[in-house]
């Protein structure tokens, strides 16, 4: 079991390399990866089940200790990224399927990779976990509503169908994970160390499947989508930091909100796009998954240079987070 734990840590620490490598392989040999496409939704369910296995009452305690700070983070997540996505789509006059894909990933909740990046940045990990947990639980209602509001001008959006999809692939697996944790605590604790490995394999498979299914279109539109994703992610990181600064939060919390706002649950975006729109609409999520796992470590390294102040909470370990 120790060998699996070491392998899991290694794979988790080098996640960006694996997702980039397999995205390239899927682009040049798409026939080797298209078989994964029907399994995108179940793979995301596995990731969410792993999140349920690691959640605890402590993760939600910050909501009651610092409700205003958590609320600022949640509002930042669900206002800044969707708004940026809509503005970029309008400004660049993106084709409908790509525009919907960009808005979709912008409307998703934060990904648990943000918890790890916050830890590396010496931010407020407890706050990061609380914001990720709350936005994830709110996603079945908020994400479809935002997508309906912002993307309906491009393609028909069924908010009800999307709500049910998120319940199935996010909420239900998390609840099952919590139940498994409660009933099989000792056995679950032994498996938790392997979760980064499982999560990395799942998200790499999702990215590879999306890239393979859209190889021809990526060849013609990939640079445009990549530019939009980089702008979306970069502006999200910047505005998240400014929001926290305007709210008078400490340096550690500014780092945390920057990362929470800028990093999305791109796996959910890819699954929803594939299920409700088209494979092309999933490409922004796939590219976002590649890019934010490159920009995340970069911004975390930069934030390490920002000295925390007296308002800050000492960083604690994020535990075993699924990587999205």
Q: Which domains does the chain have, with CATH numbers?
A: 40-303 (1.20.1530.20)
When the pLDDT of each residue in the chain is averaged and rounded to a whole number, the result is 83
Instruction: Give the pTM.
Output: 0.83
* C-beta separation of 320 from 13 below 8 A: no
Q: Residue range 38-43: average pLDDT?
A: 84
* C-beta separation of 282 from 92 below 8 A: no
Q: What is the pLDDT of residues 272-295, one digit of tens each?
A: 888 888 778 888 888 888 788 788
Q: How far is CA 3 from CA 8, 35, 148, in A?
A: 8, 30, 46
* C-beta separation of 284 from 228 below 8 A: yes
Please give the Cα distance from 317 to 51 (Å, whole number): 15
Q: Residue range 111-127: average pLDDT?
A: 82
Q: Residue range 197-205: average pLDDT?
A: 82
Q: Residue 240 has what pLDDT? A: 94
Higher pLDDT, 261 or 125: 261
Contacts with 12 (C-beta within 8 Å, 6 or more apart), sequence order: 116, 196, 197, 199, 200, 323
Q: Which helix (H) or strand (E) holds 32?
A: none
DSSP per residue, 224-254: HHHHHHHHHHHHHHHHHHHHHHHTT--HHHH
Q: Which two tokens stand for residue 312?
A: 């800050």
Which pLDDT band holds residue 52 (cuts at 50, 70, 90)? confident
Which pLDDT band holds residue 189 (cuts at 50, 70, 90)? low
DSSP per residue, 60-75: HHHHHHSHHHHHHHHH
Task: Indicate the length of the chain as a whole number.
Answer: 324
């Amino acid at each position: 079991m120790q060998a699996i734990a070491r392998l899991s840590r290694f794979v988790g620490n080098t996640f960006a390399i694996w997702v980039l490598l397999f995205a390239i392989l899927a682009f040049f040999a798409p026939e080797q990866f298209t078989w994964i496409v029907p399994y995108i939704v179940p793979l995301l369910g596995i990731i969410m089940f792993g999140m349920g296995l690691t959640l605890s009452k402590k993760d939600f305690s910050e909501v009651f200790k610092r409700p205003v700070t958590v609320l600022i983070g949640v509002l930042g997540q669900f206002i800044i990224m969707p708004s940026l996505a809509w503005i970029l789509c309008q400004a660049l006059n993106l084709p409908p399927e790509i525009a919907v894909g960009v808005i979709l990933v912008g409307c998703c909740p934060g990904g648990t990779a943000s918890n790890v990046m916050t830890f590396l940045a010496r931010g407020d990990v407890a706050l990061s976990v609380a914001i990720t947990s709350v936005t994830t639980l709110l996603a079945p209602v908020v994400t479809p509503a935002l997508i309906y509001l912002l993307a309906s001008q491009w393609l028909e959006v069924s908010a009800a169908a999307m709500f049910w999809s998120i319940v199935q692939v996010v909420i239900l697996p998390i609840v099952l994970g919590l139940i498994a944790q409660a009933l099989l605590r000792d056995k679950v604790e032994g498996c938790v160390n392997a979760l980064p490995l499982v999560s990395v394999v799942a998200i790499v498979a999702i990215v590879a499947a999306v890239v393979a299914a859209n190889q021809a279109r990526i060849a013609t539109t990939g640079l445009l989508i990549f530019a939009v994703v980089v702008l979306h992610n970069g502006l999200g990181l910047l505005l998240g930091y400014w929001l926290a600064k305007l709210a008078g939060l400490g340096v550690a919390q500014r780092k945390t909100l920057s990362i929470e706002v800028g990093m999305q649950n791109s796996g959910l975006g890819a699954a929803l796009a594939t299920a409700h729109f088209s494979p092309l609409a999933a490409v922004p999520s796939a590219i976002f998954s590649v890019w934010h796992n490159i920009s995340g470590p970069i911004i975390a390294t930069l934030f390490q240079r920002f000295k925390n102040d007296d308002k800050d909470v000492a960083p604690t370990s994020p535990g075993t987070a699924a990587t999205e």
